[in-house]
């Protein structure tokens, strides 16, 4: 009995062992199938997202763009994909110049995209075709494989030459190369170093800002209740020093709530959220009114043979302030004069007045029968909306506006 009992017990143990092994094999097989399906879905999902987003842009063969994109990283070590690998991709969908509309950002992505998504004022790198199709996505390849992977890819901190990081560095460089005229950057005023030398904005984009293609960099320092810095921050001083000579720098502290209000009011004029007008406290409550009067002068009018008298009412309502013994005129010395006056408080120029400061470096015009303002579709002619403005402004300085009235009152008896 005892011997028979032992044999029965051994058979039961073997059955249980075989059952356990069978269960493990089944589980492994299921996991392998699930993993394979997941990987396949990941690759297909990335491609579907890429193509779906791409098709919103007219004039591109999205399948061809996808093929060029894959060649940058497929069958490559995911830690050895340099920025140059994306050169053919950028060439296949080049970024168009965005004069006076380019918006850069650092640590302010949500605020910036909330604003640009609700208004038609600015464009970011994520609004370009390539930036749009790959925003928020992860991808990589591996040596010896033709697959595109979406899991297990190195992140930005794992290795510098990862596929995602290298792409954003390359497309950011292309976006900076296309920026021209007046450029805006939203930086985070709630951190101690809004201009971080390790950021893409500092290490790549700013280094490609060149004069005379780019005229002005307007920094919007986004502030909240926990503001960690202001426009006098040392890192922002470093930003100003790094700019190519000839690029004017301006910084404005703007509450995040104010930007959010602008986002909720898309009918609000583009620049009025942090317009240069706000730099003049005495007129900050009238900025919309001033802009309205300014637009009345040229909107719906031909841009050529534009009479300066159309700006009369604008200058009547916004006369120049007194500048006793401080007026500085210039001719063919623009950069030299303004470089001098920006660093010293001894003199002021026409461009330091309210209207001169607001319009300095800008281009604008209207078109007959249109209610729009145009900034880079203006006809080139000797007498136009811009030249007539500056002729009128200069005449106000010379001919007896408040700008020169006290300048001429000099005590000669001493």
Residues taking part in catalysis: 99, 180
For 272, phi then psi, to 5°, come to -70, -10
Of the CA atoms within 13 Å of residue 248, those in its CB half-sphere come to 20
Q: Which two tokens stand for residue 369?
A: 């029968």
**How far is 371 from 299, CA to CA, in rounded Å?**
6
Handedness of CA 229, 125, 287, 354 (dihedral sign): positive
Complete DSSP assignment for 354-379: HHHHHHTT---B--TT----BSS---
The residue with tokens 């930086």 is 187
Residue of 136, 150, 133 lying closest to 63 (CA atoms): 133
Find all residues with CB under 8 Å of 118, minimum gap 6, and list them. 263, 264, 266
Q: Give the separation between CA 356 and CA 248, rounded to whole angstroms.
A: 14
What b/e readout covers 39-74, taking b as 16+ CB neighbours within 10 angstroms? Answer: beebbeebbeebeebbeeeeeeebeebbebbbebbb
b/e 383-395 (16+ beta carbons within 10 angstroms → b): ebbbebbbebbee
Residue 379 contacts residue 303 (beta carbons within 8 Å): yes
Which residues pair with residue 374 across a beta bridge? Answer: 365
Task: Say how far apart CA 39 and CA 23 lie, in whole Å.
Answer: 24
Within 10 A of 115 (CB to CB), how many other CB atoms are there? 24
Q: What is the 3-state secondary structure (H, E, C) of 193-218?
A: CCCCCCCHHHHHHHHHCCCCCEEEEE
Give the three-class secondary structure for 348.
strand
């Amino acid at each position: 009995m005892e011997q028979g009992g032992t044999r029965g017990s051994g058979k039961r143990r073997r059955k249980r062992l075989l059952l356990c092994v069978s269960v493990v094999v089944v589980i492994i097989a299921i996991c392998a199938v699930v993993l394979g399906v997941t990987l396949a879905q990941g690759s297909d999902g990335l491609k579907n997202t890429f193509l779906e987003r791409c098709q919103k842009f007219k004039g591109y063969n999205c399948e061809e763009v996808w093929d060029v994109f894959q060649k940058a990283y497929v069958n490559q070590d995911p830690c050895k994909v340099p920025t140059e690998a994306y050169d053919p991709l950028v060439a296949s969908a080049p970024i168009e110049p965005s004069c006076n509309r380019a918006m850069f950002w650092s640590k302010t992505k949500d605020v910036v995209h909330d604003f640009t998504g609700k208004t038609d004022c600015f464009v970011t790198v994520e609004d370009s075709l390539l930036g749009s199709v790959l925003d928020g996505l992860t991808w990589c390849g591996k040596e010896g494989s033709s697959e595109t992977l979406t899991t297990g890819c190195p992140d930005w901190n794992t290795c510098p030459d990862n596929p995602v990081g290298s792409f954003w560095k390359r497309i950011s460089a292309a976006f900076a190369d296309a920026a021209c005229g007046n450029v805006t950057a939203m930086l985070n005023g709630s951190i101690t170093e809004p201009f971080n030398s390790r950021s893409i904005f500092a290490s790549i984009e700013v280094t490609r800002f060149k004069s005379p293609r780019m005229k002005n960099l307007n920094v919007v320092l986004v502030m909240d209740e926990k503001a960690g810095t202001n426009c006098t921050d040392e890192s922002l001083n470093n930003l100003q020093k790094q700019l190519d000579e000839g690029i004017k720098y301006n910084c404005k502290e703007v509450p995040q709530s104010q930007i959010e209000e602008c986002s909720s009011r898309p009918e609000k004029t583009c620049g009025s959220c942090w317009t240069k007008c706000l730099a003049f406290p005495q007129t900050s409550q009238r900025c919309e009114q001033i802009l309205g009067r300014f637009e009345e002068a040229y909107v719906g009018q031909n841009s050529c043979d534009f009479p300066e008298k159309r700006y009369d009412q604008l200058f009547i309502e916004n006369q120049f302030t007194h500048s006793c013994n401080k007026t500085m005129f210039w001719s063919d010395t623009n950069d030299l004069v303004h470089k001098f006056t920006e660093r010293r408080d001894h003199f002021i120029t026409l461009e330091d007045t309210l209207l001169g400061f607001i319009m300095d470096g800008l281009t604008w015009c209207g078109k007959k029968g249109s209610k729009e303002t145009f900034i880079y579709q203006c006809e080139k002619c000797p007498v136009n909306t811009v030249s007539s403005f500056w002729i009128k402004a200069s005449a106000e300085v010379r001919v007896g506006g408040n700008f020169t009235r006290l300048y001429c009152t000099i005590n000669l008896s001493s």
